[in-house]
Amino acid sequence: MNSFWKPKIFEPPITDKENSLSYVIAFDADGTAKDVTRRYAKAYTAKTRRLRIENALEDGKGWWNKVMKMYRPKTPSDLDQIEDNELAGVEAREPMPRNVQDFKDHPVYALERHLRRHEVLVPGAVPSGTVAAGTRAPLEKVFRRKDVRMARSAEKWFRLGREVKPMEIPAKWLPKRVQNKRSRFDEQEQNEDADGDAGTPIYTMDQTELYEPAPVRHGRVPKNKFGNIEVYVPSMIPKGGVHIADEYARRAAYVLGIDCAPALTGFEFKGRQGTAVLKGVVIAKEFEEAVRASIQGMLDLEQEVEEEKRRYVALKLWRRFLMGLRIRERIWSGVGEDERQQADREAELEAEAKGAESDETDEFDMVVDDEDDGGGGGFLVGDDDDDAEGGGGFLVE
């Protein structure tokens, strides 16, 4: 087989389902590697690309680039740059597909039948050719993918910080979906289905303009009918105002007597129930420094309270420990040193044999279990008290 200057003859036929050319990696003598699949694939963009991870995952292209980055040379040579240009040229010179199915999700060409629900063609789009689904099927116009635009409803554009220009004709009307009782729709579909029998009008970005909210005047923040302000994107912050995204911001503004509006930054959906997400507040810009200083003071106060709680817990543990030592000393006050050491050794041997705790632990647990806030179970005895009046319930010989 003469394969000199004919790299594409190495690709197996399409009919061989168990032998497909998806990746061709060329390794150099220095250990570097490069993806040269475009050189060996006959229809890389139309067919081979569908078999690769770039098409299987949303971030597949980025993942594959990270993998191949580990095998790239640190400083590309002139030969590497020439080869990259060659591979890019091979992909750019790939002809238009002749099969209708190959136009679906094609990065260069598109058919009107394959446009998604929210995709439209720009007005005056010029077709690049025609294709037929069969010998008797009518010809369909082939458009460039660059002439396809994403269209959204007016509500969706508003959540992106844009509003539809006055007197704009919708680029497309979305038909009303037939809802299934068991099906679950996302937020966009729910809003679209509620627009009436005529469907939902959608617009392209060229039919919208940047949304400009009412400015903050005399320290008063504009609010909607629910008492908050919509700040889905930073450009929706009113002129003269500032968004402080802190959980203590609203409390600080209330303490200082400053007018504020809770910032509605989005929605959280669980099934078909949507919940508004309020994050921080919007206040007049001249009060920003005072509010941030008040927030810092609240954080410092909260930290002091937490430290005080930890200090109280530590002192309580020390109190229990000292009470246990006092009880131990009280019990062994009338026993000689030799007898005490002998009792300790016997207790340790017994604890090792039975796997139980020593007598010191038992004495300490006795205090822990019986302790109350009044006085530690009545075992605190002063040095000047006699045994008859304050012995804590123990008779010492």
Q: CA separation (Å) from 161 to 119, 158, 208, 235, 393?
A: 20, 5, 10, 6, 77
Distance in angstroms (rounded) separating the CA atoms of residues 241 and 249:
14
Same domain, yes or no: 81 and 154 = no
- Domain contains 325: no
Q: Residue 385: what pLDDT? A: 44
pLDDT in tens, 59-81: 888 999 999 999 999 888 899 89
Distance in angstroms (rounded) separating the CA atoms of residues 141 and 131:
7
Same domain, yes or no: 190 and 250 = no
CA dihedral 349, 352, 356, 360 (to 10 degrees): 50
- Domain contains 397: no
Two tokens at 58?
């949303």
Run means of pLDDT, 10 residues per run, the chain, 397 residues? 70 82 92 92 89 87 93 90 92 89 90 92 91 86 94 94 93 78 48 62 94 93 93 94 94 94 89 85 94 94 94 95 89 77 81 62 49 46 44 45
- Domain contains 355: yes
- Give the total number of structural domains in the chain: 4
Among candidate residues 65, 73, 5, 80, the one with its CA nearest the CA of residue 40 = 5
- Domain contains 317: no
For residue 26, what are the β-bridge partners?
34
Greatest alpha-carbon span in the chain: 118
Among candidate residues 206, 197, 194, the one with its CA nearest the CA of residue 168 = 206
Same domain, yes or no: 216 and 199 = no
- Domain contains 357: yes
Q: Residue 368: what pLDDT? A: 46
Residue 269 sits in a domain of what CATH number? Answer: 3.30.70.2460
Q: Residue 377: what pLDDT? A: 46
- Domain contains 256: yes
Same domain, yes or no: 199 and 232 = no
pLDDT in tens, 200-239: 999 999 999 999 999 999 999 999 999 999 999 999 999 9
Among all chains, which residue has been given the structure tokens 């660059």? Answer: 146
**Parent domain of 268:** 212-298
Which pTM was predicted? 0.67
- The distance in angstroms from the start CA to the end CA of the chain is 112
For residue 209, what are the β-bridge partners?
163
Q: Residue 13: what pLDDT? A: 84
Q: Residue 305: what pLDDT? A: 94
Distance in angstroms (rounded) separating the CA atoms of residues 253 and 232:
21
Residue 121 sits in a domain of what CATH number? Answer: 2.20.20.110
Query: Reduced to 3 states, what is the DSSP secondary structure of residue 74?
Result: coil
- Domain contains 1: no
Same domain, yes or no: 137 and 197 = yes
